[in-house]
Amino acid sequence: MRTNSWAAAILTGAAIATVLLAVPPADADTPLRESSTAARAVQHLTSPASASDSTAVPADFTALLGYQPKEVDGVMVNPHGACSSPVPLPAEFDTACKAHDLGYDLLRYAHLTGGELGPWARNALDAQLDRRMHAACDTRERDRASCFALANIATTAVSVNSRRQGYGVPIDEPWIRYGLAGALGVLGLLATAITVQRIRRLVTA
């Protein structure tokens, strides 16, 4: 009976995720003219060798976006950013999320200045978020499995949303973001719980 309950819960979560993932993606066209300053900033901030280069941020970024990016843990970030998720995420993800927020604001900056960046930019920012979250989990001595599971949930939600929006200028859509993250969160947590339960059974057998 207990196994059937777990299976039903997983199938329910899978159905929710399937509905959300089935939303057709927008067209990902490459703009005719990209902002060279925004492109340079994204390239620098997604490269480990230059992620802390404050000079890569466009000179008029603060005037247009309303804040001054800062360096935290060796990377430039949006100091007011945060991990937007209905599922509690590890504190180690904070810097990665703030850096990702700055990256998305660079995409908005490019749009505002008439030189929207191509799909490559959002792809690069999402990939960097994935790498940084998993790198943060690598530093843990305990609960690494749950950390990696949450990193996978968060980055999958981000990637799916980027695909939906055609890898263009980020648009805030709380309903799809929270719905998708919630569905993936249910699946991830249930899968983790089942795995832990099976390991305990093997140990006590």
pLDDT of 155 over the 50 cut: yes
Of residues 129, 183, 186, the one with CA closest to residue 158: 129
User: 110 Cβ partners below 8 Å, 6+ apart?
Assistant: 34, 35, 38, 39, 116, 117, 121, 169
pLDDT band at 26 (very low <50, low <70, confident <90, very high): low
How high is the pLDDT of residue 11? 45
The beta strands (E) that lie in 78-205 are given as none
Entry pTM: 0.76
How high is the pLDDT of residue 204? 61
How far apart are the C-alpha atoms of 182 and 73, rounded to whole Å?
29
pLDDT band at 205 (very low <50, low <70, confident <90, very high): low
How high is the pLDDT of residue 85? 78
How high is the pLDDT of residue 84? 81
Mean pLDDT lowest among 38-47, 86-95, 189-198: 189-198
7 vs 123, residue with greater confidence: 123
pLDDT band at 19 (very low <50, low <70, confident <90, very high): very low
- The pair of structure tokens assigned to 36 is 């060279």
pLDDT of 190 over the 70 cut: no
pLDDT of 15 over the 80 cut: no
- Strand pairing partners for 75? 72
